[in-house]
Every structure is written in structure tokens, then in C-alpha cells.
Structure 1
Amino acid sequence: MNVNFAERAHNHNWKLDPIVRSLLDTDFYKLLMLQFIWKNFPTIPVTSEIYNRTVKVRLADRISAVALREQLEHVRGLRYRRSELVWLAGNTFYGVRQIFQPDFLEWLENDFRLSDYEIHEQDGQLVIRFSGLWTEVTMWEVYSLAIVSEMKTRAALADLSELELDVLYARAKTRLWNKIEKLRAVAGLRLSDFGTRRRHSFLWQEYAVEALSSALGSRLSGTSNTALAYKHNLEAIGTNAHELPMAMAAIASRGSDEDLRLSQYKVLELWQRSYGGELLITLPDTFGTTQFLQGAPDWATRWTGERADSKDPFIAGDEYIAWLVQRGQDPRTKRFIASDGLDVDTIIGLHNYFNGRIRFSAGWGTLLTNDFRNCHPRGEDTFEPISLVCKVTSADGRPTVKLSDNASKATGPIEEIARYRRVFGSPVLAKEPVLV
């Protein structure tokens, strides 16, 4: 891919350059989750909200709320193209054909809409909140995060001369290539691009993915970005996320404590039925990985693998392997995916540590698609990646909670967090720094 990033940034009128140009420009798991929600929870109302966990970066000082609204409104006006729907209908995902039901695709074409939203400023941050039916809100997550992240990028680019832009991108390309060189030397490595939501820009993500594909070949399993998978004939990667157990737990929280505790498994049962026993990767850390594994029903051992998101992946992988062995399973037949703030040295370290013990793969996110640290020609930090998240905050009128394996990532009202910790038996773990 031959892109003159410096010339494009210097000469473009950003106002006429939408950030999200296709509704496929999202993580693949969002489409799978949307179909699951459409099928099982079509009338449930939810709210979600963007959080900037890097509070030292005052986004309201860098991003115009008016310009942000223009970008969000552009996305609301997009519709799925016929060619995109044909691809979703006919392509094979994870070896499965017709994973998207014809009536769901018809609904996508004719009836899918994004919800309304509100934007205001508070303590130097932009507060962005989405409200509506769950089917209308869920897809905002990745669109909105990618928009905010790239608007931050564009604001910083506007402050550089063309020569400085040349220096910025030359340094970033060199950094990316040095990382790829390290990865090329590792036999048997498996990794995927997970970098959509906090990318530097769509073009830079595409550049990074094409570079990886060219250099690593089959060792690149694919990309979570559905638009890039579609455009470049790559495997679309992803299954589901914390949003599902968080919302299911909120709905169940009206009932007994036992209803609440069991909700984390009932959502998996429903997922399993909805997808005919496919796409079976657990994400056990929503309310604490250890309690999840300890209480998991026997059928959970038949799932394909586990993704670790907030626990030290070396510890999480060992814990998962020990649980499999205790349950009479051969870990070498299962998959373990790490995906939290990874960079190249950690990816290689994890591959070496788990090689031969379990089928390890890495989801490489922000530090693949937005690592411009120390690349600024004047030494400023305006291109540093920040930790942006968009989390569901209520479902069916009840507040949602995420406990996580890292207390820094816990969300929800204090009194609800206390109840959840008691019900799930999840202690308050030490806060670990969150980079991205």
C-alpha cells in the first residue's frame, strides 16, 4: 500500500473527509453480537457511554463537539451496501458458511438504524452518551471510538508542517517495521489485528495490516476490522465482548443473587444455541476470571478456548491450562488468546511461554495501529495513544457493572459494585496501570 501520509494530512480538508465511510468499518464481533441481540433481545433499551481513562488528556480541548457531531451524523446516514451484504451472506467465517441469517441481513439492509446520542463537556472531557434499543446502540461502540481517536489525531496533525509530517510518519513506519522484523523471526507465531477502536487513522490501520500480511503471510490470522477483511480477503476475527454478560447481569439483577451469579453462564448458553455450537471463545473476566472458572458448568470445557483481557496473560493462561487439566481436557487442543495492551516483545514472550502447551494467539491492538510514541518531530506527546472505551451503562433500566480482573477497569455504581463483588465472590484486586 503506497500512501503519502504527510501529503494527505497536509493538503486534505478534514471537513470533507469522513472518518467512517462504511458500516463494515467495525470489529467483526459487533456484527455477531448485533445478530445475537436482534434475535434474543430486540426490545431491550440500553445506554452506553464513552470514557477516557487517560484523564490527563483533556479531549474537549482538542476536539470540537460540533465537528464530532458532524462525524457521528455522517455515520448515522450510512447504509449497508448490497455488495457488503452479499459478502456477509456468502463468505465463510471460522469455517462456517451462512453464519448470518438471511432475515437478519434483510433487517440490516432495510431497518437497521443507529440511536440518537448526546454530547456535552465535563471537566475537560467530552461526554458522549448513546440511548435507545440495544440493537440501535451496540454498534456505536467501535464507530464512536474510532471517530474520537482519529479526530484527536487530526487535531495534532493540523499543527505540523509538511516536513514535520514527513518526519512523523517516517519514524512511525520505521518503528512498525522494526516490530515486524522481530515477529518474522518467530516460527509458528499466530496473531491478529485488533486495533480498530483506538487507531491513529483508518489509513494507518490499513497500512499496518497490509504490512503485516505481506511480511508474515499465514502467521497473520486476520483482522478484527470487517471492512479490511472484506477489502483485502482476510479472515474476519472476533466473537463477543463484555457488553453481553454486563447487560445480561443487569437484567438478571432484578431477581435473586443466584439469578445474578448464573447470568454469566446463561449468556454463554444462549450464545451457544444462537450460533449452533460455533464461535465458542469464553471471555471470563467480566466479573472475575477465577470465580468464573471455579463455578463454570461442565459444558464450558467443550468450548474452543478463552480470551484473556484484563489479567496478566501469563497468569491467566496458566490458570486456564490448570482448569482444563483439572476438568480432564487436553490444553493442546484448546486456544488461548491474549489481547490487552500487547506489544511485540510481550507477544513473542507469550508465544514462547505457551508454545506446545496450548494453541496461543495474540490480538494486537492499539500498539499496532497507533504507536506514535516519541515520533513527534518536536518531542511533544500529542500523538500518544490514550485509553478510550465505550461501555454499556444500563440495560432494561438497571445499571450495569464490570468488575474485571483489574480494578482500574471496574465500572458501575459503587453500591452495585459492592453487591456484585459479594455475589460473584470477586475480591478487590490491585489496580494495575492501563496504557491503552
Structure 2
Amino acid sequence: MIINLARRAHNHNWELDPITRSLLDTDFYKLLMLQFIWKWFPNTRASFSLINRSSQVRLAEIINMHELREQLEHTRKLRFHKSELIWLAGNTFYGQRSIFEPAFLDWLEHSFRLSDYELSQRDGQIVLNFEGRWTETTLWEIYALTQVSELKTRASLKNLSEFELDILYARAKTRLWEKMARLRGVPRLSVSDFGTRRRHSFLWQEYVVKAMSDVLGESFKGTSNTYLAYKHDLEAIGTNAHELPMALAALANSEEELRASQYRLLDLWQQTYQGELLVLLPDTYGTTQFLEHAPDWVADWTGQRADSKDPFLAGDEYIAWLEKRGRDPRKKLFIASDALDVDSILALHAYFSGVILNGHAPNSFRSASDFLDETKWKPDRRIRFSAGWGTLLTNDFRDCNPRHHDGFDPLSLVCKMNDVDGRPTVKLSDNFEKSLGPPEELERYRRVFGTDGVARMPLIA
């Protein structure tokens, strides 16, 4: 599939090109979580808000608010197509069929609707809120993020001539190729596209995913974007996110219930998916405390995803915890997904997959040839490692603008839950910079969960 991205951008009638083309154009974990919410919390209400953590960028002065409203209105009118529901019903995900219940798919077809929204601007920032039943608001997260991100892209593209657009995309394609060339042929490599939420554009993400599939072959495990998995016959990747433990914690009625809520979620999740999709996301209130107090059965889960702690530290901590609990780490999966790029992917792969570093820093592994020297391999890998490659895969246009202006740098943009049934939600994270919630609630949660293992690290998109 070859797309002339520059000509498409130059000649576009943007109003006729909606950003969200299908309700499947979302991360796969959102659909898995939606089924969980539909099953256990069908009448719970929730609200979400867009947050621009790159606050120095005044988004409301860049993005046309009328265009954003048009995109949101278009998305509200979308419905799941019959062919999409047939694919969800009949496809095999993670080796399992019938992962979606027939009653849930029937509800998606006949009853599912997105909630209304409130859109305004304040102090140069977009104010975008969603409120309603949790089942009606949760999917807005990815749609809102992709629409704001792409409208920012489109605003910057309008400033360039067709020739300048050619240069922009030629530079981005060259950078993408250079990254893939360093990964191609690396033994045991496992990498997936996690870049939907802050992508440059839908067309660019599709281009990137196809390129990754063609160049990396079996090392490319799939994409978190359900629509691209559906359209291009790829594996849909994902399990769950911080939203679920945030909600269950907010619904707790005592400090004891609050501490236990992170494990109650796991119990409900494994009931929902019959013992499948068992990847831990332990950092909502701090990974260290989560592992320390976890019931023993939690160690039987398949693996863990690290999303806010230094992944080298997080992986070592998980391995030590598994060994302490009498489990073999080599049979488990460790996924890193926070601000990865090719250097960190190679370094983490080397560190966890059995490469002898010979006194060199992990990031000294620069290309596939470094991994092909068998003298650098240990007899056994420490743990199965997989990289969830996000923003710097699908939106790395840094310094690609021929006018040398900013405008294409990715933002640290999130759309997070505010409350459930009127109770404020909190996220502590392993990174102080990623914490969310009212100050008094943050203080209360830190009193309950502590701050062991929590650090302060810069935010990278």
C-alpha cells in the first residue's frame, strides 16, 4: 500500500475526511474493558476529561474548535458495522475464540451509544469533558485523543507547500526506515504498535503498521489499533488499563476496601475472561506496594506491563518477586510500554532476553548484528520480553519540518477518568509526574498505599 501522503495532505478537503472512520479505530483494550464494564458495572456513571500535560502548547489557539466539534459530532453518529461485529465474534484473539459474549455483541449492535460532550476553551487550552454511564463514556478516550492530535497535525500541515510536505514525509519515512533497519533480524525480538492515541494521523499510523509488518515479519506481533488489525488481518494487542483500578478504588467504602480494590479487579477480570488475558498492570498505585501485598494467586498470571517505572528496574523487580513466589520468570511475559524508542527497545531486549553485556551499557547494542554474535548470549533468557512501541513509532516528526519550526512534536496528551458515581478517581503511578486526582485525595491515597518505589521522571509524550 503506497500513499502519497504529501499530495493527500496538500489537496485535502479535510471536512470530508473524518478522523475516526470506524468505532473499531480504538485500542483493543478499550473494547475488552467495555465488555468488563458492561458485565459488572452497567449502571455506573463516569466522567472523563482531556488533559494536555504539555501545557506550554496552547492547543485552543492551534486547533479550530469548529473543526473539532464537527469531528466529535461525526463520531457520535457512528455505529458498529455488521462485518465488524462478525469479525469480533469469529476471530481468534490470543489463541482464544469467543472472547466476546454474544449478548455483549448484540448490545454493541443495538444499544451502544456514545455520551454527549462539553467543549469549550480556557486560557488557551481545550476543555473537553464527557459524562454519562460508564459504558457510554469510556470509548471517548481514544477518539478524543486521536482527533485532537490529528487536528494539531492538520493545522501544521496547512502551513506547508506541497514541496515542503514532500520533504516532511520523506524525512519521517527515512527515520522510520532507519529505526526498522536496526530492529530487523534481531533474534527473539517481539514488538507491537501501541501508537494509536497520540499518532500523527490515521493514514500515517496505517502506513507505519504496514511497513512494520513488511519489514520486521514475525518480530512484529500486531497492533493495539483494532480497526487496523481488522482491516489488515493482524493480531489485535491489548488487555486493560489504569481506568479499571481507578474506578474500583473510588468505589471502595473504607481504607481496607481501597487497599484490596486492586486485587478485587484482578479477580473480576479473570472471571470475565475465563483465565485468559492475564497481564498485570500494577502501577496505578505503585508497583512495589502492589507486588508486596498481592495474594499468591496473582503470581500465576501470565505477565506484567510496566507503564511508568524505569522498565529495567520494573522488570528486575517483577523477576525477583516471581522467584520469591516460587514461579519461573522464564515462563512469564514482561511488557514495557512507556516512551519507548529503538534504543530502549534494543537495550531492554538485550537485558531481559539473555545477551551478555560484557561490561557495556545495554544501549550499546545498536543493530541486529550485535545480537547475532552467539558469544554474547546466555544459555537462557531471564524473562520473555515484548515492547509496546507508542508515540515515537507513530508520531516521530521531530525536526522533520523543513521550515525548522515546531508544530509536529508529539504532545503528552491524556484523557482520564475524573469520577465514578460522583466519587473522585486517583492515579498515583510509579512516576510522581503522572499522578492524577484532587490534591486531598492524592494525599489520602498516598497515606494508604505509600510511595515505595515511586520516582520523578520526565514526561515524554
Give the TM-score, by structure 1 length. Answer: 0.99
**Aligned twin of 1:319:** 317
1:123, CA displacement in angstroms?
1.7
Question: Matched residues in 2 for 1:213 and 1:430: separation?
Answer: 36
8 Å contact from structure 1 (residues 131, 137) kept in 2:
yes
Aligned to 1:7: 7
Q: 1:249, 1:260 within 8 Å by CA — same for their partners in 2?
A: yes
Paired residue type of 2:59: L
Aligned 1:371-410 pairs, distance under 5 A: 371-410=396-435
One-letter amino acid matched to 1:15: E
| 1:30 equivalent in structure 2 | 30
Q: Cα offset for 1:112?
A: 0.3
The one of 269, 276, 279 equivalent to 1:278 is: 276
Corresponding residue of 2:450? 425
The one-letter amino acid of 2:459's match is V
Query: What's the CA shift for 1:427?
Result: 5.0
Which residue identity does 2:416 align to in structure 1?
A: K
The CA distance in 1 between the partners of 2:137 and 2:407, in whole Å, is: 30
Partner of 1:357: 382
**Equivalence for 1:411:** 436
Q: What residue is the counterpart of 1:310 in the other structure?
A: 308
**Identical residues among aligned pairs (%):** 68
How far does residue 428 in structure 1 lie from its aligned partner after superposition?
8.8
Partner of 1:337: helix, strand, or coil? strand
Deviation at 1:185, TM superposition (A): 3.8
Distance in structure 2 (CA, Å) of the matches to 1:256 and 1:231: 46
Distance 1:227 1:59 in 2: 27
Give SS of 1:411's match.
coil
SS of alignment partner, residue 189 of structure 1: coil
Contact 2:429–2:454, Cα closer than 8 Å, also in 1? no
- Hey, what's the Cα distance between the residues in 2 that align with 1:317 and 1:200? 30
**How far has the Cα of 1:186 moved from its partner?**
1.5
SS at match of 1:96: coil
Does the 8 Å contact 2:286/2:453 carry over to 1? no
Amino acid at match of 2:222: G
Alpha-carbon displacement from aligned partner over 1:7-41 (angstroms, at most 9, x marks no partner): 00000111111000100000000000000000000
**In structure 1, what is the equivalent of residue 239 of structure 2?**
239
Whether 2:132 is the aligned partner of 1:107: answer no
- 2:185–2:216 Cα contact (<8 Å) kept: no
- 2:293 aligned partner, one-letter code: G
Residues 407 and 428 in structure 1, CA contact (< 8 A), matched pair in contact too: no
Residue 293 of structure 2 corresponds to 295
1:370 aligns with 2:370: no
* Post-superposition CA distance 1:259-293 (Å, at most 9, x none): 11100110110001011111000000000000000
SS in 1 for 2:251: helix
Q: Counterpart of 2:88? A: 88
Query: Residue 381 of structure 1: CA displacement?
Result: 1.1
- In 1: Cα distance, 2:180 partner to 2:33 partner: 32
Contact 2:289-2:452 within 8 A present in 1 as well: no
Counterpart mapping for 1:81-160 below 5 A: 81-160=81-160
Question: Does the aligned pair in 2 maintain the 1:421–1:427 contact within 8 Å?
Answer: no
What is the CA-CA distance between 1:435 and the residue it aligns to?
A: 1.0
Other structure's SS at 2:316 match:
helix
Deviations, residues 343-375 of structure 1 (Å, cap 9, x unaligned): 001000000000000000000001000000000
Unaligned runs of 5+ in 2: 354-380
RMSD: 0.8
Could you tell me how far apart the structure 2 residues matched to 1:316 and 1:430 are? 12
Q: Distance in 2 between matches of 1:299 and 1:428?
A: 23
